[in-house]
Structure 1
Amino acid sequence: MNVLVTDPIAEAGLDRLREAGYDVRTDYDIEGQELLDAVADANALIVRSGTEVSRAVFEAAPDLVIVGRAGIGVDNIDIEAATDHGVIVANAPEGNVRAAAEHTVAMAFAVARSIPQAHARLKDGEWAKSDYLGTEINNKTLGIIGLGRVGQEVAKRLDTLGMNLVVYDPYISEERAAQFGAELIEDLEECLRRADFVTIHTPLLPETENMIGTEELALLEGGYVINCARGGIIDEDALAAAVDDGTVVGAALDVFAEEPLPADSPLLAVDDVIVTPHLGASTEAAQESVAIDTAEQVIAAFNEQPVLNALNAPSVDETAFPRIEPYIPLAETAGKVAAQLLGKRITEIEVHYEGEVAEEDVELITASALKGVFTPLEWQVNAVNAPQLAKDRGIEVTESKTRQAADFQSLVTVTVRNGDEELSVCGTLFAGEDPRIVRIDGFRVDAIPYGHMLVARNYDKPGVIGFIGTVLGENDVNIAGMFNARETYGGEALTVYNLDHSVPDVVIEELLSDDRIIEVKEIVLDGQEELTKRETPTSAD
């Protein structure tokens, strides 16, 4: 596996990848066509904020499995394009959270006490003690815009230092805010009105770009602004003007809309604006941590394990993964079998869980079931893009759970529909990890899902199974296992045959020539290409 690293990360992360046996190439100066050429044979791409991972990059990298962002922000990565190409995008949100939170707190103190300004003047020989009357943060109100991981860590630290906390975050509950000693405010304007200090902790999104402008800054009259999240959230021209005219007492920024910060930025001309060159994550411990976290996620993706911080793929808690792991291939197989047996355009997919598995987080299992459904249709699909493929094609996907299972400890059922016509395949695990297909379209079977499978529908008449076995035997197709079920005596029956190898077309045609046989379909599992459905001329289409 080839790993391309285009932004500097700590050597500990690179060493972890090399120890895992991967070929690691570092090139920190490429962009444009050079980048497109470099990713052509890459299986993983590791970046920080410097590399623009556009749709063109994904189009140039047919073997790319994962893009790892050694840090939190991913606004330089086209996640929609990644999903379209089935590429995982994962960040490392934990490694630099503490560093970013500490820098935010440091900036709050720095702007409240004019520390950089006083330092600079003293270095220049001025004892300007009387020029700086600072502000204590004790009993002041801190407005936190975005209570994500960094926002939470900032809240913990400044709450203990005596600040009153109010939070604006449309995606959290009052109860969650209260856990950090904060009051949830329903709108941004009210949060700004009540705050003495405001700190930003949101990603840069279309809805957050220039979220803080002239009107919003006017609501913070007499207060302070700190932004160590992402540049572009605050209108920098408006902020410079607000601090310059005294509307806002001071501001401290570590991130900017354009980096490096241009020499003609109005922020540099205002004495009460403190700026640092994106140092939030710049600690030795943070850089090593995010590098190792990113490397571990690349390794997990290569090993087809859950990527815990995937942003566009189902993920699962590390402690829960061993419990759901056996169901992932089971659901994929059930999806493959169901799609091929229906043999028609699919308009709906339902994945139903019964028993113990219904107690788990099943998002990854459902994505694997969708992957199985789409694979026989020859779409380029994996668990990353399967949910998006369903959405793009107007296929309705539902997930349901039942805590009780009548006959099994756990049961996963994949149902595919075309209008009023539907077909279900149910799978379970014997002895905790031995997969079985136990129902097909209502017929109770006990089929081992591997290799070549032949599914035959026939009328329940004497000699049919013997005829099928004879035809297979005469053509040197060995039966490894057989599982038969019927609706009623003399009614319709279904038989699943596990075979040692593929069935030639002439054998399928011979089987279908018997009018007692309604339908025969061959399914190839374990990564082999699924074969085309064959039916009798009289069967319904």
Structure 2
Amino acid sequence: MKVLVTDPVDDAGLDLLRGADHDVTTGYELEGEALLSAVADADAMIVRSGTEVSEAVFEAAEDLVIVGRAGIGVDNIDIDAATRHGVIVANAPEGNVRAAAEHTVAMTFAAARSIPQAHGRLHDGEWAKSEYLGTELNGATLGIVGLGRVGQEVAKRLDALGMELIVHDPYISEERAAQFGAELVQELSDCLARADVATVHTPLLPETEGMIGESELAALGDGFLVNCARGGIVDEEALAAAVADDTLRGAALDVFADEPLPADSPLLEHEEIVVTPHLGASTRAAQENVAVDTARQVLSAFRDEPVVNALNAPSLDESAFPAVRPYVDIADTAGRIAVQLLDERIAEVEVHYQGEIADQDVELVTASALRGVFGSLEYEVNAVNAPRIAEDRGVEVTESKTRQSDDFRSLVTVTVRDGDRELAVCGTLFADDDPRIVRIDGYRVDARPYGQALVARNRDQPGVIGFVGSVLGEADVNIAGMFNARETSGGEALTVYNLDDRVPEPVLEELLADERMIEATQISLETGEGR
């Protein structure tokens, strides 16, 4: 597999990929047509913040499986486009969390004690001791905007210094904030008004862009603002103006709306604003950690295993994967059989879990069921884009669980509906990890979900199975196994034939020409091809 690396990352991650016999190609100056040309045959990309991974990149890269971001922020990656093209986008949020938190703490001290200003004056030969009166953090109130991973680490460190912690985060509970010794404050303006120092730890999203502007800075009042999260969250012109007119005592920024920071930025006009060139993740340990984490996620994607930090695909903890792994393929096969047997426009898909599997995280299994459903209807469907395809087609998707299962330890049922009709296919796992399809449209069967299969409905009359066997035998199509079930004697029967080869079209027509045959549907249980 080819891995294209377009921003510098630590060799530890690249060595991991090379050690797995993958072709690692670096191109740190690629952009425009050169980037599109380089990515055309790539199976994976690894980037940092310097590469713009746009719709055009995904259009050019037909083989792309995953884009790994060696770091946290992914605002340089068009995730919607990635999802449409079935490409996983994954970041590495853990590797540089401690580094970012420590830099936030350092910047807080730098702003509160005027450390870089005093350093500069002393280097210039001035002993300006009397001109700097610092602010002690002990006993001061810290307003944390966003209690994610970095915010939590900042809370731990500054709580230990004796600061009073308050938090604004609309996605956490009071109980969660209390676990970090913090009080949850519902309104951002109230949090800033009570804070002596405010630190920012939110991603850059449409709802957070410009979130801290003139009115929010006025609420912070005679305090300090520290942003080591993402540029664009703070209105930089409003911040410069707030420092200039002494609304704020000072600020410290590591990230900016435009990077590198333009020479004419108003932020550079004020000594009270401490700036660093996006150094939050710039420690040796952090760079190695994010590179290794990203490489591991690329390897997981290549092995068709869950990608732990996938942002647009089902993710799963590595320790939980073995319990659900067999049901990923079972659900895919059940969905593929169901949609081809129904042979109608799909309006609804339901995935129902019974027994032990109901206690597991089954998001990946459900996505795989949708992959099976849409695999014969859409081009290049996978677990990444299948939920989006369902949404785009207006197909309602429901997931349900029941811990009781009468016949099997675990059972996965995929039901497809067109409004008037429905068809359900059930799969399970026998002893020794032996997957089986055990019910099709209410008929009890026992089919191995591998290779080629012919699902035939016929009138329950003598000689039908023999007729099918003869026709297939004359066409040199070997029957590897079969299972027959019926509603009532003389009624309708359903038979699943496991085959070694596909049935030629003329042979299917010959089968269906017999008045006893109701329908015969050929399904590939491995490639998603079917009729």
Q: TM-score higher than 0.5 here?
A: yes
Structure 1 residues 224, 528: closer, same or farther in 2, change over 3 A?
closer
What residue identity is the alignment partner of 2:125? G
The equivalent residue for 2:492 is 492
Q: Which residue identity lines up with residue 414 of structure 2 in the other structure? A: V
Quick check: 521-530 or 276-285, which moved more? 521-530
Match of 2:145 in 1: 145
Separation (CA, whole Å) in 1 of partners of 2:242 and 2:390 = 48
In structure 2, give the amino acid aligned to 1:42.
Answer: A
User: What does 1:40-189 correspond to in 2, within 5 Å?
Assistant: 40-189=40-189
- What root-mean-square deviation, in Å, do the aligned CA atoms of Structure 1 and Structure 2 show? 1.0
Paired residue secondary structure (1:49):
coil
Match of 2:402 in 1: 402
Corresponding residue for residue 11 of structure 1: 11
Matches within 5 A, 1:372-411: 372-411=372-411
**Aligned counterparts of 2:263 and 2:497: Cα–Cα separation in 1:** 74
User: 2:195 is matched with which residue?
Assistant: 195
The CA deviation at 1:508 is 1.8
Where structure 1 has 5 or more consecutive residues not aligned to the other structure, the ranges are 533-541
Q: Which amino acid is the alignment partner of residue 56 of structure 1?
A: A
Q: Describe how 1:327-406 pairs up with structure 2 within 5 A.
A: 327-406=327-406
Write the mapping of 1:123-522 to structure 2, written as runs, cut at 5 A.
123-522=123-522
- AA paired with 2:338? A
Structure 2 CA distance for aligned equivalents of residues 119 and 478 of structure 1: 84
Q: Distance in 2 between matches of 1:218 and 1:378?
A: 53
Structure 1: distance between partners of 2:189 and 2:206: 19
Structure 1 letter corresponding to 2:336: K
CA-to-aligned-CA distance 1:162-192 (integer Å, 9 cap, x gap): 1111111111111111111111111111111
Cα deviation, residue 341, structure 1? 0.8
Q: CA deviation at 1:500?
A: 1.6
Amino acid at match of 2:128: A
Q: In the alignment, which residue of structure 2 is the partner of 1:535? A: none
Q: Deviations over 1:112-138 (max 9, x none)?
A: 111111111111122111111111111
Deviations 1:49-90 (A, max 9, x none): 011111111111111111110000000000000001111101
Instruction: Measure, in 2, the Cα distance between the counterparts of 1:182 and 1:192.
Output: 14
Shift of 1:150: 0.5
Matched to 1:512, the amino acid is L
Q: Deviations over 1:405-429 (max 9, x none)?
A: 1100000000111112010000000
**SS of equivalent residue, structure 2 residue 226:** strand
- SS of equivalent to 2:319: coil
**Aligned mates of 1:268, 1:31 — CA distance in 2:** 29
> What SS does the corresponding residue of 2:159 show, helix, strand or coil?
helix
State the distance in 2 between where 1:186 and 1:528 align: 49
- Which residue of structure 2 aligns with residue 27 of structure 1? 27
Please state how far the C-alpha of 1:509 moved relative to its aligned partner: 2.0
Shift of residue 447 of structure 1?
0.8
User: CA–CA distance in 2 between the matches of 1:459 and 1:372?
Assistant: 29
Distance 1:475 1:281 in 2: 65
Q: Distance in 2 between matches of 1:410 and 1:166?
A: 46
Instruction: Give the Å deviation of 1:317.
Output: 0.8
Where does residue 539 of structure 1 map in the other structure? none
Deviations 1:332-380 (A, max 9, x none): 1111111111111111111100000000000000001100111112432
Q: After superposition, what is the alpha-carbon deviation per residue over 1:367-407, rounded to whole angstroms, capped at 9, x for unaligned?
A: 01100111112432111000001001101100000011110
Q: Deviation per CA, 1:212-261, whole angstroms, max 9, x where unpaired? A: 11111000111110000001110111101111111111100000111111
TM-score after normalising by structure 1: 0.97
Q: Secondary structure in 2 aligned to 1:326?
A: helix
Contact 2:376/2:528, CA 8 A, preserved across alignment? no
Cα deviation, residue 467, structure 1: 2.2
Residue 475 of structure 1 and its aligned partner are, at CA, apart by 2.9
AA of the residue aligned to 2:100: A
- Taking only the aligned residue pairs, the percentage that are identical comes to 74
Deviations 1:267-287 (A, max 9, x none): 111111000110000000000
Q: Which whole-Å CA distance do the structure 2 matches of 1:56 and 1:480 have between them?
A: 46
Q: Residues of 2 paired with 1:378 and 1:502: CA distance?
A: 21
- State the distance in 2 between where 1:11 and 1:469 align: 59
How many angstroms apart in 1 are the aligned matches of 2:392 and 2:422?
21
SS of corresponding position for 1:314: coil
1:7-48 CA distance string (max 9 Å, x none): 100111111111111111111111111111111111111110
Q: Distance in 1 between matches of 2:36 and 2:468?
A: 55
Runs of 4+ in 1 over 6 A off after TM superposition: none
3-state DSSP of counterpart to 1:320:
helix
Structure 1 counterpart of 2:85, which letter? H
Is the CA contact 2:372–2:528 (under 8 Å) kept in the aligned structure 1? no
| CA–CA distance in structure 1, aligned partners of residues 140 and 489 of structure 2 | 81
Task: Classify the secondary structure of the residue corresponding to 2:15.
Answer: helix
In structure 2, give the amino acid aligned to 1:54: S
Which SS does the other structure have where 2:135 is aligned? coil
Q: Which amino acid aligns with 2:215?
A: E
The letter for the 1-side match of 2:399 is E
Indicate the SS of the match to 1:319. Answer: helix
- Amino acid across the alignment from 2:148: G
Q: AA paired with 1:294?
A: T
Q: Secondary structure at the match of 1:216?
A: helix
CA distance in 1, matches of 2:413, 2:483: 19
Does the residue aligned with 1:75 lie in a helix, a strand or coil?
coil
- Quote the offset at 1:528 in angstroms: 6.1
CA distance, structure 1, for counterparts of residue 440 and residue 522 of structure 2: 14
Of 141-150 and 484-493, deviating more is 484-493
CA distance in 1 between partners of 2:34 and 2:466 (Å): 64
Q: Distance in 1 between matches of 2:351 and 2:528?
A: 24
Q: Distance in 1 between matches of 2:475 and 2:40?
A: 46
What CA distance in whole angstroms lies between the structure 2 residues aligned with 1:259 and 1:510?
68
Following superposition, the deviation at residue 448 of structure 1 comes to 0.9
CA distance in 2, matches of 1:106, 1:258: 23
Secondary structure at the aligned position of 1:335 is classed as helix
Letter matched to residue 69 of structure 1:
R
Deviation of 1:432 (Å) = 4.8
CA deviations 1:459-505 (Å, max 9, x no partner) are 22222222222322233322111101111122211111111212222
Taking the aligned partners of 1:499 and 1:281, their CA distance within structure 2 comes to 56
